[in-house]
Amino acid sequence: MTTIQQNFDFIVVGAGSAGCVVAARLSEDSRVRVLLLEGGGQDDHPDVKDPTKWPTLFYGAMDWGWKTAPLRSCFNRIDHLPRGKMLGGCHSHNANAWVRGHHTDFDNWAYSGCPGWSWNDVLPVFKKIEDWHGPASELRGTGGPIYVSPPVDPNPLAASFIEAGCSVGLPVLEDINGPEMLGVGYFNFTVKDGKRFSVADGYLRPALQRPNLTVLTFAETDRLLMDGNRCTGVEYRQNGQVFQAHASSEVILSAGVIGTPRILLLSGIGPEVDLKSHGIPVVANLKGVGRNLQDHPLLAGLLYECSGPLPPPHNNGAESTLWWKSDSQLIGPDIQPVFIEFAFATPELASRVPHHRCYTISPSVVRPQSRGTVKLASANPELAPIIDVNYLACDADVKAMLAAVELCREMGASDAFKEYRAREVMPGPLSRPDMITFIRNAVSTYFHPTSTCKMGHTPMCVVDHELKVHGIDGLRVADASIMPNVTSGNTNAPSIMIGEKAAEFVLKNR
C-alpha cells in the first residue's frame, strides 16, 4: 500500500463514541502520528442527520447487521442487535439521548477495584465533554465538544407521559442529569438546530484539519499484530486487500462491545478453551474476553391507539423517560421506561398493531442480572460472531420487568392521556403467567450492550483501571465493553467519558 503511511505512534480501531474522542485528543499533540480505522463509511446520509429517523438506520450499510443467538429464555426468538457502522459509530445511529447514569453506577465501579472511576472522578470529565444549553447548574459543563440541550418544542404526548408520572406519585425532574435521577422528565439530547450532533461532529471533524491524523473508512480490522506479549499494530481489510499498520506506542481498541472482543479473540487473546476450539494460537489466556455481556432489556412495547391523528414525532420521537426502583430497598433505580411517539413492537407482536395510529410506552430493566457472551463462530474474520444476549435468564429481571409493566400500564391508563387514548392495544389485563409470556415475546434490546472486556483486577477482568489489557503491552481498550456493569441509563454519554479517560491515561504515560 503506497497511499498512506504504514507506521504511526498510535492506532485507534473504531471511529465510534469513544474512538473519535481518543483519536481527536491524541492528535492534539502535533508530534505524534495517529491512525483511526473505521469499518464503515461516512455519516452523511440524510437520515443520520434527522434525529427522528434513527429506526431507519438499523438495517443496511450503516449497521453491522449483528443478530443474537436464539434467546433461550424468550422462546428461542432471534433479535437484531443494531450497532453503528460509520463515522461516529452508534452516536451516528442512536436516538441522541444524553444520560450520564446514576452516581452509584460509578461508585460501584470504584468499589469493585477500579480506582479513579467513582462518581466524583468522572463528573469533571462529563462536564468537560458538555456544551450544555439548559438551566445553569454546577453539575453541568459548558463550552465542551458535545452540544447538549433539553428538547425543543416537545410533543404533547411526551408531556402527557410526564403528567402521567406525576399523577402516580413520581417526582418531576427539571434535569435528568441534575442532582436527582429518580423521577420522570425529558431526556437531554445531542441535537443542534434540529440535526444530530455526534462525536464525529464535536471531536473528529475539528481534528481532521490536523496533518498528523489519518482516518481510513471501510477499513475492517481483523486482528492485532503481536511480538510476544506486545501489540505492535493491526491487520485490516480495505477494498478487498489486506494491509498492516504498525504502532510504535500503543493500539487502542474502540471497536465496541461486539467488535472489540471479536478482534481480541481473533488475535489469540481470550479464553484458552475457546481459542483452541478454533485453532487460534493462544497469546494470552484471558478468560473474561467476550464474557459478562450485559444489555438493558426493553419491551417493544405497551401500545395505545390514538383517538385522533397521531402527533408527528418531535426531536428524536422518544423525548420523555423515567427512572424508578422496582424494590424500594435498592440503592439506585433499576427500571427506566421510555415513551415512544410511534408504534414500537417486536415482529412476534407487530400483527396486532395499527402502526399508523399508535404510541408506545416501553418498560426496561437497567440493572439486569442476566449475563451473556460474545464468541467466535470461526477463525474466519469475515464470519459474524455468536452473540448470546441471554435476556431474562434471571428471575430477578423478570420480576423487575413485571413491576415496570405495572407502573407503565397505570400511567398509560391515567387521565393524563385521556385526550389521546382510544384503547390499550396490548398487553391488556393479563394473569401473571400470561403477562410473563407477553414479556418474553415483547423483549428486545435497548441498544445498550456493554461489559464484554470488563475493567478490574479479578481473573475475569480484561483491562486494568487504566484500560491496559492484562498481560499485553502496548494495548488498551476504550469503549463500553470495559464497563464492569452497565450504567443505569443510555450508554452513549458514559462511552464518550470512557474515551476521554482513555486519552488521559495514554497521554499521562507519554
pLDDT digits 0-9 by tens, 134-161 = 999 999 999 999 999 999 999 999 999 9
Give residue 510's pLDDT: 77
Rounded Cα distance, 373 and 232, in Å: 27
Name the pLDDT band for 6 (thresholds 50, 70, 90): confident
What 8-state DSSP symbol labels residue 29?
A: S
Q: Residue 283: pLDDT above 70?
A: yes
Name the residue among 128, 139, 216 with its Cα closest to residue 173: 139
Average pLDDT over residues 326-335: 96
**Beta carbons of 204 and 100 less than 8 angstroms apart:** no
Give residue 1's pLDDT: 33
Topology annotation, domain 7-509: FAD/NAD(P)-binding domain (3.50.50)
Name the pLDDT band for 169 (thresholds 50, 70, 90): very high
Of 91, 102, 314, 448, the active-site residue reads: 448
Q: Residue 130: pLDDT above 80?
A: yes
Dig out the grid coordinates for 160 from the structure.
Answer: 402527557
CA distance to 159, 213, 311, 342, 423, per residue, from 308 (Å)? 17, 53, 9, 14, 12
Average pLDDT over residues 104-119: 97
Over residues 350-408, the pLDDT tens digits come to: 998 987 899 999 999 999 999 999 999 999 999 999 999 999 999 999 999 999 999 99
**Beta carbons of 302 and 163 less than 8 angstroms apart:** no
Average pLDDT over residues 119-129: 98
**Beta carbons of 85 and 18 less than 8 angstroms apart:** no
Catalytic site includes residue 448: yes
**Beta carbons of 226 and 46 less than 8 angstroms apart:** no
Name the residue among 330, 362, 385 with its Cα closest to residue 490: 362
Name the pLDDT band for 3 (thresholds 50, 70, 90): very low
Size of the chain in residues:
510
Q: Which of 114-123, 223-232, 346-355, 489-498 has the lowest mean pLDDT?
A: 346-355
Give residue 356's pLDDT: 84
**Beta carbons of 161 and 339 less than 8 angstroms apart:** yes
Question: 268 in helix, strand or coil?
Answer: coil
Question: 488-509: b or e for each residue (b if 16 or more CB lie within 10 Å)?
Answer: bbbbbbbbbbbbbbbbebbeee
**Residue ranges per structural domain of the chain:** 7-509
Average pLDDT over residues 225-229: 97
**Beta carbons of 496 and 198 less than 8 angstroms apart:** no
Mean residue pLDDT of the chain comes to: 96
